[in-house]
Chain A
Amino acid sequence: MNTLAVIAQREYVQRVTSKGFIIGTLVGPIVMIAIIVVPVLFLVAFQDQSSKTIAVIDESGALYEELEFPIDFDLVASEAPVDTLRSHVLGGKINGYLILPETLLRGEGGAAFYSGGGGGFILSTQVQQAVNRAVRQRRVLMTGADKTVLDILHHDVGVDMIKISDEGDQADSAAALAGIGYGMGFVIYVCMFIYGAFVMRGVIEEKTNRIAELMASSARPFDLMLGKVLGIGAMGLTQFLTWCILGMTIMAFGGTVAALFVDPNDYGLGQVDNQQALLDAAGITIPQLPFSAFVLFVLFFVGGYLLYASLFAAVGSAVDQESDAQQFVLPIAAPIIIPMLLISHVIENPDSSISLWLSMVPFFSPILMTVRIAATSVPFWQTVLSLLLLGGAFLGSIWISSRIYRVGILMYGKKPSFADIARWIRQG
C-alpha cells in the first residue's frame, strides 16, 4: 500500500471511529430539523388567538351583509358617532372601524379603515379584500345579473406549469426546485467550512503535537497534505451520504407523511388507497430531482471540498494555533461567502448570462452550479466545462498549498506574514 493511501486511511479510520463523529452524524440531522421545526412550533404555540373587533359604519345600507371576514374577526354594525368610535379604538375596546360611503355603490369614492395601527400588513390586506369583494358583489347584483355571473366573477383559474424536457413532460415545480437548489447550495456552503476547518485543525494539531517533523522524515509533504485532505474528505462523504440516505428515506415516505394531513373527504374522493391520487387532488406534488442531478451534486461537493480543503491545509501549516489562523482564513472564506450573496439572483434567473459565467468560476461553481442544476436544465457542456475548471483550480491550489505546507509545518514561533508565505511559494 503506498504512503498516500496509508495516510488517508489513518485519517479516515481515526475519525470515523471516534465518538464525536458517530454522535455528530446521528445528531446532526436532528439538530437541523429542530432548527426548522422549533420556530414554526413556536409561532403556532404563541399565535394571536384573540379575535379582532371591527365596527362598520355602513352608509350605503347594503354592503354590511356582503362583508366576509375570516372567522377571527367580529364585525359590529354601528351607527355611533365617529368620535365615540375613535375613543373606543384608542381605549382598546375595538380594533378599528370601517366607513363604507354610499358612493361606493355607484363606483365612486373609497372606503376608509381607521385603526390604532399595528395591525400589520395582513390586516390591511384582509380588510381591502373583504371590502372589494363586497362592493363588487353588490354592484353586480344591482345590475340584475343572475347568480351565474357572480360565479364567473369569483372563479379562479389555475394554470398548470409543465416543464418540457427530453425525459418527457412533467409538472414544473420551479419554486420547489429552486428551494431544493438553495438547500443544496447551503449544504455545500456549510460543509466547505466544517470540513475545511477539520483539515486545518488536523494540520495545526500535528504542529502542536510536534509530530510534523517526524512525519516529514517519513513521507513527502505533498502526500501528507493530500492524504489528510482525502481522508477527511472520505469522512465527510461518509457523513454526507449517511445524511442523504436519511433524507431520501424521508423524501420517499414524504408522500405518506403529507397524506396524513390531507383528509380525502375534502376532495370528494372518499376513502382511497392511492396516495398519489390523493395528493394530486390536493394539488401537492413532492418534487423529484433526476438522479443525474444528485450525481452532479456529489461531484461538485467533492470538487469544492478538495479545492477549499487544500487551502485550509496550507493555512493550518502556516500557524501554530487556531487563534492565529483568522487573518489567513479570511481570503479563503470570502470566495465561499460571495456565492451565497449571489445565490438569490441565480435562483431567480438561472439561465441569465451572469448566472452562467458565475457558475463557471471555480471558487463559486460548487454552490452556484448546483443551484442552477436544481433550478433549470443546464446544458451538458456547461456542466462539464464547469467541472473541468474546478478540477484545474484544485490542481493549482494543491500545488501552491503543498509549497506553503512543506515550509510551514516546520516553522514554529513567529507568525508569518502574507509576504513570508508568498516567498515560501516562490522558493518551494
Chain B
Amino acid sequence: MLNVSNVTKRYADKVAVDSVSFGVQKGRIFGLLGPNGAGKTSTIRMIAFITTPDEGEIRLDDRPVGSWSQQTMGYLPEERGLYRKMKVGDQLQYLARLKGLSAAEATAAVRHWLDRFDASDWYDKKVEELSKGMQQKVQFIATVAHEPTLLIFDEPFSGLDPINADLLRDVILELKEAGRTILFASHRMEQVEQLCDDICLISDGRSLVQGSLREVKSAYGRNVLRMEYDGTPNFLDRMQGSGKISVISRTEHRAELRLLDGTLSRSILQQAMDELDAIYRFELVEPSLNEIFISVVSTTGQGSKQPQGSRTGSAA
C-alpha cells in the first residue's frame, strides 16, 4: 500500500534520512523504530507530504504522495497542538473539512467520535478550558475523524497518561480490525513491540533491519536464556571466559544470558544440573527488540544485516 524507496533527505549540515526503503502492507501495523534523532520524524514528514525527499520516491497505492494523499492520511505529530481559543467542535469540524469532508459529514463524524470518547459535552468548550488528558483525546479525534486509510502516529504514547495510553491502544487495534493501515514511529520499543506486525529499525538515518516482527525475531533465534536457581553457578564465569556465552544480567538467584556461536542450551543445562542446588526456571526466549537493536548497532556499526539499496559514502 505504502512504498518508500531509496528516500534521502538532507538538511543544511547533515543527512537526516539516508536511502531508506520499506513497504507497509494494507491492514497491518508497521513500526518505524529507532532512537531519538534516527530520522523517524523526517521520514514520516515526507510520507505525510509535509516535506519532500531530496532523492527517492514515496508512493501510496502506486501514486506518488501529494496533496491528494494528505486527505487519505491521518497524522498525529509528536508535537501535539490545537488552536487554544477555538471550540472543540468547531476545531474538529474544521480539521476534518481540510481533509476533504463536507461540512455536514464533518459535523457527523465529530459527533460520532466525541460520543465514542464519552466527550459529547465538550463540543462547545474551548480547547484551553480542557485538561491535558482531554486535549489528548481531542487530538486523537482530529487524527481519525476523517476516516483515513493510512494512520501515522509519531511517538503516540509519549506524554499520555496510562488511561489515555490504554484507550489509544484499543483504538489502534479497533482501527486495524476495521482494515486501516497504521504506521508508528517510536523510540520506546518495548512499548509498541506487542502492537506491531512489521518493523523497520533505523539508526542514523539508515534502515538496519526490517521485516515482520516474527521474521526479525526468528532471524535472531531463541538465543536468550533465562534461569532462576539456588546455588553458585561458577560455570557461567567459565563459559563467559571462553566466549561461549555473554551475560546480559545476573543477580543472586537469576541470570539472563545470550548464547554465542552455536553454544547449545543442553550443555548449559548439563552443567547447571551438576553444579546448582536447585533450578526453578530454565527457559530459552526470543530477544526483545531492544536487544536486537542494540546487538545490530554494536555488531554492524557500518551497514546492516539486510542492506538497503546502494550507499553513498557518508559517515555513520
Contact = CB atoms under 8 A, between A and B. Distances in A.
Given A14-B86, A211-B83, A217 B97 contact: no
A212 B95 contact: no
Interface string A194-226: 000000000000100111111111111000000
A212 B70 contact: no
A231 to B, nearest CB: 12
A326 interface: no
A217 B70 contact: yes
A6 B79 contact: no
A423 B75 CA distance: 28
Given A6-B94, A423-B12, A214 B99 contact: no
Interface string B93-108: 0110111001100000
Interface in B55-71: 67, 70
Contacts of B73: 217
B70 A211 contact: no
Interface string B75-97: 10101111111100000001101
A10 interface: yes
B94 A213 contact: no
Contacts of A211: 81-83
B50 A217 contact: yes
Nearest to B41: A213
Contacts of B157: none
Contacts of A215: 98
Contact of B67 (A1, A206, A220): A220
B86 A212 contact: no
B130 to A, nearest CB: 14
A241 interface: no
B70 A209 contact: no
Interface residues of B, number: 27
Contact of B50 (A1, A10, A14, A410): A410
Contact of A217 (B49, B80, B83, B84): B49
A7 interface: yes
B94 A10 contact: yes
B10 to A, nearest CB: 10
A3 interface: yes
Contacts of B77: 210, 213-214, 217
Nearest to B99: A218
A424 to B, nearest CB: 10
Contacts of A220: 67
B289 interface: no
Interface string A1-21: 101001100100010000000
B81 A214 contact: yes
Contacts of B142: 214
Contacts of B50: 213, 216-217, 410
A213 B139 CA distance: 13
Contacts of B245: none
B99 A209 contact: no
Interface string B1-41: 00000000000100000000000000000000000000000
Nearest to A211: B81
Contact of B81 (A3, A6, A7, A209): A209
B interface secondary structure, majority: loop
Nearest to A5: B97
Contact of B98 (A212, A218, A423): A218
Contacts of A217: 48-50, 70, 73, 75, 77
A14 B49 CA distance: 27
A219 B48 CA distance: 10
Contacts of B85: 14
Given A210-B81, A211-B81, A212-B81, A1 B97 contact: yes
A214 B95 contact: yes
Nearest to A215: B98
Nearest to B152: A217
A220 B67 CA distance: 7
A423 B79 CA distance: 25
B97 A209 contact: no
B70 A6 contact: no
B226 to A, nearest CB: 42
Interface in A394-415: 410
A16 to B, nearest CB: 14
Interface string B125-145: 000000000000000001000
B84 to A, nearest CB: 6
Nearest to A221: B50
A209 B98 CA distance: 18
Interface of A: 1, 3, 6-7, 10, 14, 206, 209-220, 410, 423
28 contacts: A3-B98, A7-B98, A10-B94, A14-B85, A209-B81, A209-B82, A209-B83, A209-B84, A210-B77, A210-B79, A210-B80, A211-B82, A213-B77, A214-B77, A214-B81, A216-B48, A216-B50, A217-B49, A217-B50, A217-B70, A218-B70, A219-B67, A219-B98, A220-B67, A410-B45, A410-B50, A410-B51, A423-B12
Interface of B: 12, 45, 48-51, 67, 70, 73, 75, 77, 79-86, 94-95, 97-99, 102-103, 142
Given A209-B84, A214-B81, 16 more contacts: A1-B97, A1-B103, A3-B98, A6-B97, A14-B86, A209-B82, A210-B77, A213-B79, A214-B95, A215-B98, A216-B50, A217-B50, A217-B75, A217-B77, A218-B70, A423-B12
